[in-house]
Structure 1
């Protein structure tokens, strides 16, 4: 009787142990595309967020206190509605500051005319004023001379008021002179040293502040 032999089983293959380096390579090969996509997405988001828009809104930049223009050897004139010259300002250099709309003038010379035709002359080492020059603060070696007009409309030969000091605030449209620092005034034959003063030409009022001293020369008797 013949016997049938069972087929021989192939020998079992031994599984080689997987090293940690091989496992790392497998993980990288499986997740590398996903990591690259995530990195590219993050980079695109950062570029979009930090790229300025051409026509988009921008944050306002605070103005700096620097001059936007300079003028040397200049002359500034101001006329009223009737075309009458009210004041003229000259200087060696003028600087305009746009953040405050003010001007700074070196070696300033002022010539101002009152409504009644009176004349005010002033000089100083420096001046600070508003944009149109109608208000000036004179600084350093300030001298002011005020000439009145007579009944015939002519200017007097000698000034009625003279001011000397280191500071003077002139309001040209209001014809007002003021100082909170010591000044010397020559007025109506008197020599006055005051801690401060104010002269309002339309009303003719001259007032002093602080301790003041005055020396009045007696008038010569009429013959």
Structure 2
């Protein structure tokens, strides 16, 4: 009996050491296996999402909406289903839509992916404009869009295609980077009869 009782403290220490190693093993495997703090799980899912941005005078400058937004807190990014971005200028409104999108809140960038369509309705002095591409990165605060993908652009009846483009909503300027082809149609002049 005396011999068994002398091994009892050694047995307790051995059990505690084994429990410590087991606990360390579990914690390490949770972090490496995606079960700890490195998880990429959503913290919010919002249906029929919409957010607007206003200038210092309280005028609405842009609107971002989506059928569904899934936010991930570890990267502060969001996946968007059927996103729509509208930029509101005094003389024109430009709207972009796509099948999907990714929003990065740190960089204030929304990447529109799949069937990207842009449109600006006709104004008093300008015809309607459209833009189509596969992917468009939009810098929301600067109102700038850019892509390296093929694009097609129309300005009234005139058409332009190319690969890669930079678009500035504030200036209304579109720079096409390469492989540019255009078809320009001019409105016929009316003959004036005396």
Q: TM-score, normalised by structure 1?
A: 0.68
Query: Which residue pairs with 1:24 in the alignment?
Result: none
Between structure 1 and structure 2, the one with the greater Rg is 1
Q: What whole-Å deviation, never above 9, does each CA across 1:54-103 have from its counterpart, x for those lacking one?
A: xxxxx8x4332221110112222222232221211222111111111111
Distance change in 2, residues 1:157/1:39 (3 Å): same
Distance change in 2, residues 1:77/1:36 (3 Å): same
Distance change in 2, residues 1:190/1:133 (3 Å): farther
Q: What whole-Å deviation, never above 9, does each CA across 1:150-206 have from its counterpart, x for those lacking one?
A: 6xxxxx6843x3101211122232121211100101136520111111122334432
In the TM superposition, 1:1-80 aligns within 5 A as 31-44=3-16, 61-80=36-55
Asked if structure 2 preserves the Cα contact closer than 8 Å seen for 1:119 and 1:148, the reply is no
Cα distance in 2 for residues equivalent to 1:157 and 1:187: 8
Asked if structure 2 preserves the Cα contact closer than 8 Å seen for 1:177 and 1:198, the reply is yes
Cα distance in 2 for residues equivalent to 1:174 and 1:82: 17
Query: Which residue pairs with 2:140 in the alignment?
Result: 172
Q: What whole-Å deviation, never above 9, does each CA across 1:111-138 have from its counterpart, x for those lacking one?
A: 2213x45311121111111238942111
Query: Which residue pairs with 1:193 in the alignment?
Result: 161
Query: Which residue pairs with 2:56 in the alignment?
Result: 81
Distance change in 2, residues 1:172/1:46 (3 Å): closer
Asked if structure 2 preserves the Cα contact closer than 8 Å seen for 1:124 and 1:140, the reply is yes
Distance change in 2, residues 1:90/1:174 (3 Å): same
Is 2:117 aligned against 1:143?
A: yes
Asked if structure 2 preserves the Cα contact closer than 8 Å seen for 1:92 and 1:107, the reply is yes
Distance change in 2, residues 1:216/1:98 (3 Å): same
Distance change in 2, residues 1:49/1:207 (3 Å): closer
Select the residue among 169, 172, 181 that pairs with 2:149.
181
- Shift, 1:44, TM fit: 5.0
User: Where is the strand percentage greater, Structure 1 or Structure 2?
Assistant: 2
